[in-house]
Structure 1
Amino acid sequence: MPLAVYILGLSVFALGTSEFMLSGLLPPIADDMGVSIPRAGLLISAFAIGMVVGAPLLAVATLRLPRKTTLVALISLFGLGQVAGALAPTYEILFASRVVSALACAGFWAVGAAVAIAMVPFGARARAMAVMIGGLSIANVLGVPAGAFLGEHLGWRSAFWAVGIASAIALVGVVTRIPHIPVPTEKPQLRRELAIYRDRQVWLSVAVTALAAGGIFCAFSYLAPLLTDVAGLDDGWVPSVLGLFGLGALAGTAVGGRVADAHLFGVLLSGISASTVLLAALAIFADGAAVTIALTFLLGFSAFYTAPALNARMFNVAGVAPTLAGATTTAAFNIGNTGGPWLGGTVIDADFGFASTAWAGAAMSVLALGLVAVSLRLHGRSRVVTGSESAALEARV
């Protein structure tokens, strides 16, 4: 695996820490800003919305720009967004800083994923994406618990400053280690790139990714209050439990990345099925501290075990447009990251309790599982290898 792919994974660590750390900071942010926890949870959705909009928008805007220059500009803008969040005097300004940071994060993900895919052979795509997703896993193991720890002892703003510093370190890595990738001699044509959206398998992949991610984040976004208010744990337990989710995510990414290249649909079916069962179990046993902690670890595993396959599937069905494929996957994940917290906040506001977020997440996962079955059935009917899909690889389930 090229060194540059690992540098991209390290950069994603900073991006992922900022994206996920609010799950452990919602109570102090809500108290400081004078808003409810569900409204503070909208900051998670704000980031996700920014990524949904920013991924395809920035993919198109930077289509003909040098890849390295684009990555440098985007990680720099992201770092500035963290500083703005740390200094935000009001909820509205903090909300805006999250959207700006998300736009930069989305663009980096889309371009970075295309760069990573371009540097490896077809049969190693899931492993390359697993390295980048591994940055998210490490963010959950180290970054998110560290953010929660800083939030508890030094205030939630210190977590934003820490991510700003991590972004500066990532910038150095991109500048010094990512090779110059020239713009193709044949300039990309937007019309041809957009043609991927005529493929129903692309839209099925979008829907599966959004629902699978949404199911997890419907519950994960409100994990801190679930642990303290339902499971009865002290606030000091929250960083450690978040770290367990990250350890599960790291293990899941490593296993899923290796298996998905050979058994893509098998990973999708088994991973999403496991997430469904685990979410239902979390809803039932949320008042048991030990069971809740164990389920949190297993949810991290199942969610990130599936992630490399979700990414690789999109690149396989939209291979003629790698940058838009990366952007579309990023947008799909964050449609789920938007809808999941929103649905979770809705059931909490309806007085169903924090544990109900896991039931809602399980329902989203069931829908995702059904669409995977539809996609597999359509895939099985088609034995023609087109320019956007290689059946030779994906036929092995």
Structure 2
Amino acid sequence: MTSDQRAAERVPAAVYIMACCTFLMSTSEFIIAGLLPDLAADFGISEARAGLTVTVFAFGMIGGAPLMALLTARVQRKVTLASSLVVFSGGMLVSVLTDDFWVLIAARCVASVATSGFWTVGGLVAADLAGPARRAGAIAIVQGGGMMANVVGVPLGSFAGQMFGWRTAFWALAALAVVAAAVVVTTVPRDRHERPRLSLRQEVSGVRSLRLWLVLATCVAVAGGTLSVFAFASPMLTGVAGLDASLVPVALGVFGVGATVGQITGGRLGNARPHRTAAIAMVATAVVTGSLLAFCGHSWAAVALLGLLGFTGMAAFPVLVSLSMHHGSEAPLLAAALPIAFVNVGITAGSFLAGVALESQLAARGPLVVGLAASLLALIPFAALLIMNARHRPDTRMVDATHTPGTIAS
């Protein structure tokens, strides 16, 4: 192989830069999971109310993903990426400078919209830079940065927050986002070709598929079940499992490792059997959540089951995103953005209900009950999709090689 051929096989450096950015921004979403007690004490509120900082971040991404996809369709993508990072940094700065909880909530919402803008455009840029032959791998690298946030970013951020205060962790995120924006400006090239004019009518009409909405409904329930448990893992681990607070970041890291391995495994197994892989993953998630509810009083069993929950819960997502893009292929922009939005619908609803359950008689076990109910509900729309596919088998084939289950586009 010649040097030119080897160069052609390499993924552009800008793709790895964007993966670092998704790592940074995804860390900000769930870092609160390990800092709930500190943040609640600082603002003089309950941990359940402090959990609204997770809910509102997800809420901002619900509308932000499709909105940013449409609004930035004609804007230079590197401008969108850099601007998203700058706005994100501003949201983090306001968060650390305020003593008003509702200002914190507003700042988190702004940061979340910026995050959704980066996620929506980042995968598209990666695909364009890498070219058709390396498209899936490039998108997977960018989205993998988000998954690595659960493995490294959230535990480290939680540890730093516990040692030096939660505001210190947010200061670091704000500063790193500014640096990342500068790097994006210098490394991400301008768009290489004129993009076709967006047809809003075509995009809207292209998302009328009932199969698409069944997949999106499944995304809501799967995300609500798995990630609401993760968001309120700290009260369960310390209050029920009896784990020392200093070990909570380790437990969150175990979840992150499981989630990363689960996504990779789910994507690979789903290449050949997407529906079976997703169904098995969802059933397994319900079983693991029920087991966690039953054995959460045992510290190391709780940690192990939390890691297993990350594995089973995230294994379904690559397949669901692939199916969403397949059934919404007539609306490529919205089909790429809607899974992000609906995953965050699930996070918003799940974390809200988990917060309510946390303040009920169920106490720290409440979020687990919510997670179990959501994981069971996920099976309903997916079963309906399987029934529809069984009646129309020719429509179930995944014909686009760029939309494999191992790829998550934003």
The alignment's TM-score, normalised by the length of structure 1, stands at 0.92
Please say if residues 271 and 404 of structure 2, whose CA atoms lie closer than 8 Å, have aligned partners that are also in contact.
no
Q: Show the counterpart of 1:2.
A: 11
CA shift, 1:173, in A, is 4.0
The within-5 A match list for 1:1-397 is 2-3=11-12, 4-118=14-128, 128-182=138-192, 184-383=194-393, 390-391=398-399
Q: For 1:247, give the aligned amino acid.
A: V
Q: Are residues 132 and 271 of structure 1, via their aligned partners in 2, closer, same or farther at CA, if it must alter by over 3 Å?
A: farther
Please say if residues 322 and 404 of structure 2, whose CA atoms lie closer than 8 Å, have aligned partners that are also in contact.
no
In the TM superposition, what whole-angstrom CA distance separates every residue of 1:355-379 from its partner, at most 9, and x where no partner exists? 2311221111111122222212223
Please say if residues 257 and 309 of structure 1, whose CA atoms lie closer than 8 Å, have aligned partners that are also in contact.
yes
Unmatched runs of 5 consecutive residues or more in structure 2:
1-9, 406-410
Deviates more, 1:324-333 or 1:119-128: 119-128
Please say if residues 50 and 99 of structure 1, whose CA atoms lie closer than 8 Å, have aligned partners that are also in contact.
yes
Deviates more, 1:322-331 or 1:4-13: 4-13
CA shift, 1:262, in A, is 3.0
Please say if residues 74 and 108 of structure 1, whose CA atoms lie closer than 8 Å, have aligned partners that are also in contact.
yes
Say which SS state the counterpart of residue 262 (structure 1) adopts: coil
Please say if residues 9 and 132 of structure 1, whose CA atoms lie closer than 8 Å, have aligned partners that are also in contact.
yes
1:86, 1:41 → 2: CA distance? 17
CA shift, 1:257, in A, is 2.9
1:124, 1:377 → 2: CA distance? 34
In the TM superposition, what whole-angstrom CA distance separates every residue of 1:305-345 from its partner, at most 9, and x where no partner exists? 22222222222222233321222111101001101111111
Q: Are residues 89 and 392 of structure 1, via their aligned partners in 2, closer, same or farther at CA, if it must alter by over 3 Å?
A: closer
CA shift, 1:42, in A, is 0.8
In the TM superposition, what whole-angstrom CA distance separates every residue of 1:41-69 from its partner, at most 9, and x where no partner exists? 01111101111121122222112222222
Please say if residues 207 and 335 of structure 2, whose CA atoms lie closer than 8 Å, have aligned partners that are also in contact.
no
| Percent of aligned pairs sharing the same letter | 37
CA shift, 1:189, in A, is 0.7
Please say if residues 282 and 312 of structure 2, whose CA atoms lie closer than 8 Å, have aligned partners that are also in contact.
yes
2:189, 2:336 → 1: CA distance? 19
1:190, 1:146 → 2: CA distance? 42
2:272, 2:129 → 1: CA distance? 19
2:391, 2:128 → 1: CA distance? 29
2:161, 2:265 → 1: CA distance? 32
Q: For 1:30, give the aligned amino acid.
A: A
CA shift, 1:242, in A, is 0.9
The alignment's TM-score, normalised by the length of structure 2, stands at 0.89
2:76, 2:110 → 1: CA distance? 22
Q: Show the counterpart of 2:6.
A: none
Q: Are residues 10 and 185 of structure 1, via their aligned partners in 2, closer, same or farther at CA, if it must alter by over 3 Å?
A: closer
1:104, 1:376 → 2: CA distance? 35
CA shift, 1:390, in A, is 4.1
Say which SS state the counterpart of residue 354 (structure 1) adopts: helix
1:180, 1:325 → 2: CA distance? 24
CA shift, 1:175, in A, is 2.4
Unmatched runs of 5 consecutive residues or more in structure 1:
none
Please say if residues 207 and 330 of structure 2, whose CA atoms lie closer than 8 Å, have aligned partners that are also in contact.
no
Say which SS state the counterpart of residue 355 (structure 1) adopts: helix
Q: For 2:91, give the aligned amino acid.
A: G
In the TM superposition, what whole-angstrom CA distance separates every residue of 1:91-117 from its partner, at most 9, and x where no partner exists? 111111100000101111112233345
User: What CA RMSD, in Å, does the superposition of the two structures yield over aligned residues?
Assistant: 2.4
Deviates more, 1:168-177 or 1:27-36: 168-177
Say which SS state the counterpart of residue 272 (structure 2) adopts: coil
Q: Are residues 83 and 185 of structure 1, via their aligned partners in 2, closer, same or farther at CA, if it must alter by over 3 Å?
A: closer
Please say if residues 91 and 110 of structure 2, whose CA atoms lie closer than 8 Å, have aligned partners that are also in contact.
yes
Q: Are residues 313 and 129 of structure 1, via their aligned partners in 2, closer, same or farther at CA, if it must alter by over 3 Å?
A: farther
Q: Are residues 382 and 114 of structure 1, via their aligned partners in 2, closer, same or farther at CA, if it must alter by over 3 Å?
A: farther
